[in-house]
Amino acid sequence: MDGFVIAVDRGRYTCVRDGADPDAPTVTAMRARELGRKSVVVGDRVGLVGDVSGADGALARIVRIADRRSVLRRTADDDETTAEGRLERVVVANADQLVIVSALADPPPRTGFVDRCLVAAYDADIEPLLCLTKADLAGPEQVLDYYAELELPYVLIRPDADLAALRALLAGRVSVLVGHSGVGKSTLVNRLVPEADRAVGVVSAIGRGRHTSTSAVALRLPAGPGADGDPGWIVDTPGVRSFGLAHVSADSLLHGFPDLVEGTVDCPPNCPHTADEADCALDAWVAAGRADGRRLASYRRLLASRAGEPDPRAAEPDRTGEPGDPPARG
């Protein structure tokens, strides 16, 4: 029996069977010994044996994990020189899309956080989608201007408008939602999946909150009226407030900045692209107007952060989560 892992809690995996009716009971499973040390995460496609009835108290076993199409990772922090920084976690397997939820106001957009998510998305080979909430409070011009060179797909979310544009982008795919506290991610999840309360209830019944607050949960999107085909899945990541990037090499970090990549062709061999590297061609690239200087500054902040250098702006009082995360001001 093949299935899809939708929640993980203390050695128990909640799975849905492939092809099962959306209302069919979920299957609770444990890992079979033959899996060895391989981890099973939300989004994994697994082979199940044993009692797959989903009845109360039934316990199936996961005997196989399918090859992963993508692996979204994070580390606890950026610093590859510390044990905590090297502690790498797989957030979600087999995601197709990373939906970066950012408010346009209250709290103001944090392009540093978005840039960091873009690095994680490109590193994982997952398509990014910028989801700009609270569009009733502020316009998207500044944020879109910052990403002008990227052709980054985006949607605007306002409380009084339907979510058709977003639903169309979610259809048929597994999309991971990430965002800072207060950006309206929970509000959005509840609007997308009105039964999310029920789903959340199921998860809390197996102990969410007592265990790890960072565990991800996959929620099936409801079929729209008259819609055929698969409406898709969203994966909510309640505890993921930032993406430590210690697992991303300095080279891969650059792939999160496609607007800068071409600017490095004139760099000397093995150029670290840091601000103190006098011959780095990126400064000239920006000076020539080929990319936004704020993007170069953001890239270099991430480079410095990976090397364990403290960000001088992290100490500013109005910054609550993300070191070195400027609002998108011009």
SS3 of 261, please? helix
The binder of Zn ion chosen from 16, 40, 72, 280 (CB under 5 A): 280
What's the min distance (Å) between Cβ of 193 and ligand GTP?
A: 13
Number of residues that bind ligand GTP (CB under 6 A): 15
The yes or no reply on residue 281 touching ligand GTP (CB under 6 A) is: no
DSSP annotation of 70 reads -
Residue span binding ligand GTP (CB under 6 A) among the ranges 14-22, 81-89, 181-189, 271-279: 181-189
CA 274 to chain centre: 26
Hey, what's the torsion of the CAs at 152, 132, 94, 195, to 10 degrees? -150
Hey, what's the torsion of the CAs at 58, 238, 312, 290, to 10 degrees? 110
SS3 of 51, please? coil
Residues near 116 by beta carbon (within 8 Å), at least 6 away in sequence? 242, 243, 245, 256, 302, 322
The yes or no reply on residue 58 touching Zn ion (CB under 5 A) is: no
Residue window 142-161: x/- pattern of binding to ligand GTP, with contact defined by CB under 6 A? ---------------xxx--
If you write DSSP's letter for every residue of 204-226 in order, what string do you get?
HHTTTTTS-TT--EEEEPPPPTT
The yes or no reply on residue 271 touching Zn ion (CB under 5 A) is: yes
Residue span binding ligand GTP (CB under 6 A) among the ranges 80-88, 182-190, 297-305, 307-315: 182-190
* Token pair belonging to 153: 């797909």
Residue span binding ligand GTP (CB under 6 A) among the ranges 64-72, 73-81, 178-186, 200-208: 178-186
The binder of ligand GTP chosen from 182, 224, 308, 321 (CB under 6 A): 182
The yes or no reply on residue 294 touching ligand GTP (CB under 6 A) is: no
Please identify, using beta-carbon distances, which residue of 82 and 274 lies nearer to Zn ion: 274
Residue span binding ligand GTP (CB under 6 A) among the ranges 140-148, 175-183, 206-214, 315-323: 175-183
What's the min distance (Å) between Cβ of 116 and ligand GTP?
A: 17
* Token pair belonging to 308: 């364990």
- For residues 79 and 86, what is the distance between their CA atoms, to the nearest angstrom? 7
Please identify, using beta-carbon distances, which residue of 294 and 300 lies nearer to Zn ion: 300
Question: Which secondary structure element, helix H or strand E, spans residue 88, and what is its range?
Answer: strand 88-93
275: how many CB neighbours lie within 10 A of its CB? 15
* Residue 134 interacting partner from ligand GTP, Zn ion, none (CB closer than 5 to 8 Å by kind): ligand GTP
DSSP annotation of 161 reads S
The yes or no reply on residue 273 touching Zn ion (CB under 5 A) is: yes
Please identify, using beta-carbon distances, which residue of 3 and 179 lies nearer to ligand GTP: 179
The yes or no reply on residue 187 touching ligand GTP (CB under 6 A) is: yes
- Interhelix angle 111-124/293-306, nearest 10 degrees: 70
Closest alpha carbon to 77 in 275, 310, 235, 276: 310
Binding residues for Zn(2+): 267, 271, 273, 280
Q: Where does this chain bind ligand GTP (CB under 6 A)?
A: 133-134, 136-137, 157-159, 179, 181-187
Binding residues: 133-136, 179-187, 267, 271, 273, 280
Q: Where does this chain bind Zn ion (CB under 5 A)?
A: 267, 271, 273, 280
